[in-house]
Protein backbone atom coordinates (compact mmCIF):
# COMPACT_ATOMS: atom_id res chain seq x y z
CA UNK A 1 0.00 0.00 0.00
CA UNK A 2 1.23 3.52 -0.78
CA UNK A 3 2.25 5.48 2.28
CA UNK A 4 -0.01 8.43 1.47
CA UNK A 5 -3.00 6.10 1.09
CA UNK A 6 -2.11 4.42 4.39
CA UNK A 7 -1.99 7.77 6.18
CA UNK A 8 -5.35 8.82 4.76
CA UNK A 9 -6.90 5.44 5.60
CA UNK A 10 -5.91 5.61 9.27
CA UNK A 11 -7.40 9.08 9.53
CA UNK A 12 -4.33 11.33 9.56
CA UNK A 13 -6.10 13.74 7.21
CA UNK A 14 -7.09 14.56 3.66
CA UNK A 15 -4.74 13.99 0.73
CA UNK A 16 -3.56 17.59 0.89
CA UNK A 17 -3.03 17.36 4.66
CA UNK A 18 -1.06 14.12 4.25
CA UNK A 19 1.10 15.71 1.56
CA UNK A 20 1.84 18.64 3.87
CA UNK A 21 2.75 16.38 6.82
CA UNK A 22 5.11 14.37 4.62
CA UNK A 23 6.75 17.53 3.29
CA UNK A 24 7.28 18.73 6.86
CA UNK A 25 9.21 15.50 7.59
CA UNK A 26 6.81 14.47 10.35
CA UNK A 27 6.43 10.87 9.15
CA UNK A 28 8.74 7.96 9.89
CA UNK A 29 8.50 4.38 8.64
CA UNK A 30 10.45 1.88 10.73
CA UNK A 31 12.29 4.84 12.35
CA UNK A 32 13.33 6.33 8.97
CA UNK A 33 11.97 9.75 7.97
CA UNK A 34 10.01 9.55 4.71
CA UNK A 35 8.74 12.41 2.54
CA UNK A 36 7.64 10.40 -0.52
CA UNK A 37 3.96 9.41 -0.32
CA UNK A 38 4.45 6.91 -3.15
CA UNK A 39 6.57 4.66 -0.96
CA UNK A 40 5.07 1.14 -0.83
CA UNK A 41 4.71 -0.30 2.69
CA UNK A 42 3.17 -3.37 4.27
CA UNK A 43 0.41 -1.87 6.44
CA UNK A 44 0.36 -4.91 8.70
CA UNK A 45 4.06 -4.89 9.61
CA UNK A 46 5.41 -1.37 9.04
CA UNK A 47 5.83 0.84 12.12
CA UNK A 48 4.52 4.22 10.99
CA UNK A 49 4.68 7.31 13.18
CA UNK A 50 3.53 10.90 12.80
CA UNK A 51 5.66 12.84 15.22
CA UNK A 52 5.72 10.66 18.32
CA UNK A 53 2.34 9.02 17.62
CA UNK A 54 2.47 5.41 16.45
CA UNK A 55 -0.32 4.69 13.96
CA UNK A 56 -2.38 1.52 14.04
CA UNK A 57 -3.63 0.15 10.74
CA UNK A 58 -7.03 -1.48 10.64
CA UNK A 59 -8.27 -2.91 7.36
CA UNK A 60 -11.95 -2.96 8.31
CA UNK A 61 -14.04 -0.78 10.57
CA UNK A 62 -17.34 -1.52 12.28
CA UNK A 63 -19.64 0.98 13.99
CA UNK A 64 -23.05 0.91 15.61
CA UNK A 65 -25.17 3.99 14.87
CA UNK A 66 -28.40 4.95 16.62
CA UNK A 67 -30.05 6.44 13.56
CA UNK A 68 -32.36 9.40 14.12
CA UNK A 69 -35.24 10.45 11.90
CA UNK A 70 -34.56 12.73 8.98
CA UNK A 71 -31.42 11.12 7.56
CA UNK A 72 -31.22 8.63 4.72
CA UNK A 73 -29.31 5.34 4.78
CA UNK A 74 -26.95 6.12 1.92
CA UNK A 75 -23.38 7.22 1.32
CA UNK A 76 -24.31 10.04 -1.07
CA UNK A 77 -27.60 11.85 -1.45
CA UNK A 78 -28.98 15.36 -1.87
CA UNK A 79 -30.52 14.88 1.56
CA UNK A 80 -28.57 14.45 4.81
CA UNK A 81 -27.12 10.93 5.05
CA UNK A 82 -26.06 8.74 7.96
CA UNK A 83 -22.42 9.42 7.04
CA UNK A 84 -22.97 13.11 7.79
CA UNK A 85 -23.41 12.10 11.44
CA UNK A 86 -19.86 10.77 11.63
CA UNK A 87 -16.59 12.49 12.48
CA UNK A 88 -13.94 13.49 9.96
CA UNK A 89 -11.84 10.43 10.76
CA UNK A 90 -14.73 7.98 10.28
CA UNK A 91 -15.81 9.63 7.02
CA UNK A 92 -12.36 8.88 5.60
CA UNK A 93 -12.81 5.14 6.22
CA UNK A 94 -15.12 4.54 3.23
CA UNK A 95 -17.96 3.28 5.40
CA UNK A 96 -21.41 2.33 4.15
CA UNK A 97 -24.61 1.21 5.88
CA UNK A 98 -25.41 -2.50 6.00
CA UNK A 99 -28.93 -2.49 4.63
CA UNK A 100 -31.29 0.45 4.93
CA UNK A 101 -33.59 2.08 7.40
CA UNK A 102 -36.30 4.37 6.04
CA UNK A 103 -35.79 8.10 6.53
CA UNK A 104 -38.36 8.20 9.35
CA UNK A 105 -37.18 4.94 11.00
CA UNK A 106 -34.82 5.12 13.97
CA UNK A 107 -32.50 2.72 15.74
CA UNK A 108 -29.70 0.28 15.03
CA UNK A 109 -27.70 0.68 11.84
CA UNK A 110 -24.38 -1.07 11.23
CA UNK A 111 -21.75 0.95 9.35
CA UNK A 112 -18.66 -0.76 7.94
CA UNK A 113 -16.26 -0.93 5.01
CA UNK A 114 -16.31 -4.74 5.12
CA UNK A 115 -18.16 -5.69 1.95
CA UNK A 116 -17.89 -9.43 2.56
CA UNK A 117 -19.55 -9.24 5.99
CA UNK A 118 -22.24 -6.91 4.68
CA UNK A 119 -23.04 -9.34 1.85
CA UNK A 120 -23.29 -12.27 4.26
CA UNK A 121 -25.53 -10.41 6.72
CA UNK A 122 -27.92 -9.38 3.95
CA UNK A 123 -27.90 -12.70 2.05
CA UNK A 124 -31.42 -14.22 2.09
CA UNK A 125 -30.02 -17.72 2.67
CA UNK A 126 -28.49 -16.63 5.99
CA UNK A 127 -31.90 -15.66 7.46
CA UNK A 128 -30.32 -13.04 9.75
CA UNK A 129 -33.17 -11.83 11.96
CA UNK A 130 -33.95 -8.16 12.50
CA UNK A 131 -36.01 -7.03 15.49
CA UNK A 132 -38.09 -3.84 15.53
CA UNK A 133 -40.36 -2.07 17.97
CA UNK A 134 -43.31 -0.28 16.44
CA UNK A 135 -46.30 1.85 17.34
CA UNK A 136 -49.30 0.86 15.26
CA UNK A 137 -52.53 2.70 14.47
CA UNK A 138 -55.03 -0.06 15.15
CA UNK A 139 -55.72 -2.71 17.72
CA UNK A 140 -53.27 -5.54 17.08
CA UNK A 141 -54.78 -8.88 18.11
CA UNK A 142 -53.64 -12.48 18.41
CA UNK A 143 -55.26 -13.02 15.00
CA UNK A 144 -52.84 -10.45 13.58
CA UNK A 145 -49.95 -12.31 15.22
CA UNK A 146 -51.14 -15.58 13.69
CA UNK A 147 -51.37 -13.99 10.25
CA UNK A 148 -47.82 -12.67 10.52
CA UNK A 149 -46.60 -16.11 11.64
CA UNK A 150 -47.88 -17.57 8.36
CA UNK A 151 -46.45 -14.78 6.21
CA UNK A 152 -48.38 -11.83 4.82
CA UNK A 153 -49.62 -11.44 1.27
CA UNK A 154 -48.75 -7.85 0.34
CA UNK A 155 -50.98 -5.66 -1.79
CA UNK A 156 -48.79 -6.18 -4.87
CA UNK A 157 -49.12 -9.96 -4.53
CA UNK A 158 -45.72 -10.60 -2.93
CA UNK A 159 -45.67 -13.09 -0.08
CA UNK A 160 -43.46 -12.42 2.93
CA UNK A 161 -41.72 -15.08 4.96
CA UNK A 162 -43.21 -15.89 8.38
CA UNK A 163 -42.58 -13.14 10.93
CA UNK A 164 -42.86 -13.12 14.69
CA UNK A 165 -45.21 -10.45 16.04
CA UNK A 166 -45.43 -9.86 19.78
CA UNK A 167 -47.96 -7.53 21.40
CA UNK A 168 -46.44 -5.30 24.08
CA UNK A 169 -49.45 -3.07 24.80
CA UNK A 170 -52.81 -2.07 23.32
CA UNK A 171 -54.55 1.22 24.18
CA UNK A 172 -58.25 0.69 23.52
CA UNK A 173 -58.98 4.42 23.90
CA UNK A 174 -56.57 5.60 21.24
CA UNK A 175 -56.64 2.35 19.27
CA UNK A 176 -52.86 2.29 19.20
CA UNK A 177 -50.67 -0.75 19.77
CA UNK A 178 -47.05 -1.22 20.80
CA UNK A 179 -45.52 -4.31 19.22
CA UNK A 180 -42.23 -6.06 18.61
CA UNK A 181 -41.70 -7.70 15.25
CA UNK A 182 -38.95 -10.01 14.02
CA UNK A 183 -38.36 -10.50 10.30
CA UNK A 184 -35.66 -12.40 8.39
CA UNK A 185 -35.80 -10.61 5.06
CA UNK A 186 -35.58 -7.03 3.87
CA UNK A 187 -38.21 -6.14 1.31
CA UNK A 188 -38.74 -2.46 0.53
CA UNK A 189 -40.75 -0.81 3.36
CA UNK A 190 -41.59 -4.36 4.45
CA UNK A 191 -42.99 -3.80 7.93
CA UNK A 192 -45.10 -0.83 6.84
CA UNK A 193 -46.44 -2.85 3.91
CA UNK A 194 -47.18 -5.88 6.10
CA UNK A 195 -49.31 -3.85 8.48
CA UNK A 196 -50.89 -2.00 5.56
CA UNK A 197 -51.98 -5.36 4.13
CA UNK A 198 -53.96 -6.09 7.32
CA UNK A 199 -55.53 -2.63 7.47
CA UNK A 200 -53.18 -0.98 9.95
CA UNK A 201 -50.62 1.80 9.81
CA UNK A 202 -47.14 2.11 11.30
CA UNK A 203 -46.75 5.35 13.26
CA UNK A 204 -43.28 4.83 14.72
CA UNK A 205 -40.62 2.26 13.88
CA UNK A 206 -37.31 1.56 15.62
CA UNK A 207 -34.81 -1.21 14.93
CA UNK A 208 -33.49 -2.87 18.08
CA UNK A 209 -31.40 -5.75 16.80
CA UNK A 210 -29.73 -7.24 13.72
CA UNK A 211 -28.66 -10.82 14.22
CA UNK A 212 -26.77 -10.95 17.50
CA UNK A 213 -26.06 -7.20 17.46
CA UNK A 214 -28.30 -5.25 19.84
CA UNK A 215 -28.71 -1.49 19.98
CA UNK A 216 -26.77 -0.05 22.91
CA UNK A 217 -29.45 1.54 25.10
CA UNK A 218 -26.89 4.09 26.32
CA UNK A 219 -26.20 5.30 22.78
CA UNK A 220 -28.07 8.55 22.14
CA UNK A 221 -29.91 9.25 18.88
CA UNK A 222 -27.49 10.37 16.20
CA UNK A 223 -24.47 8.97 18.05
CA UNK A 224 -22.20 6.07 17.08
CA UNK A 225 -19.50 3.88 18.56
CA UNK A 226 -17.16 1.08 17.41
CA UNK A 227 -18.36 -2.47 17.93
CA UNK A 228 -16.75 -4.32 20.81
CA UNK A 229 -14.61 -7.37 20.06
CA UNK A 230 -17.36 -9.67 21.38
CA UNK A 231 -20.08 -7.95 19.33
CA UNK A 232 -18.03 -8.30 16.16
CA UNK A 233 -17.06 -11.92 16.86
CA UNK A 234 -20.70 -12.90 17.50
CA UNK A 235 -21.85 -11.12 14.35
CA UNK A 236 -19.23 -12.82 12.18
CA UNK A 237 -20.06 -16.21 13.71
CA UNK A 238 -23.61 -15.91 12.36
CA UNK A 239 -22.41 -15.73 8.77
CA UNK A 240 -20.42 -18.97 8.86
pLDDT tens-place string over residues 161-171: 999 999 999 99
What's the gap between Cα 206 and its chain centre?
13
pLDDT tens digits for range 21-48: 999 999 999 999 999 999 999 988 999 9
How much is the pLDDT for 88? Answer: 87
The answer, as to whether pTM is greater than 0.75, is: yes
The average confidence (pLDDT) of the chain is 94
- Catalytic residues, by residue number, are 102
Every domain of the chain and the residues it spans? 3-54, 62-124+212-237, 129-210
Strand, helix or coil for residue 1: coil
Under 8 Å CB-to-CB from 212, ≥6 apart: which residues? 231, 234, 235, 237, 238
Sheet holding 53-54, edge to edge: 32-33, 27-29, 48-50, 53-54
Same-fold call for 3-54 versus 62-124+212-237? no
CATH class name, domain 62-124+212-237? alpha beta
54 Cβ neighbours under 8 A, 6+ residues apart: 47, 48
Q: Which CATH number describes the domain made up of 129-210?
A: 3.30.70.1560
- The CATH number that domain 3-54 falls under is 3.10.290.10
* pLDDT tens, residue by residue, 134-184: 999 989 999 999 999 999 999 999 999 999 999 999 998 999 999 999 999
Amino acid sequence: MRLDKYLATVGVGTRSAVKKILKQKQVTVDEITVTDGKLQIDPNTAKVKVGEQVLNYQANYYYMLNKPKGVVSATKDQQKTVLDLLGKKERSQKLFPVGRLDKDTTGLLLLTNDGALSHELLAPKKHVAKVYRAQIAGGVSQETCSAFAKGISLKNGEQTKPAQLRILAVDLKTQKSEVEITISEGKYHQIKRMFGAVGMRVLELKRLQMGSLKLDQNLALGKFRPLTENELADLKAQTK
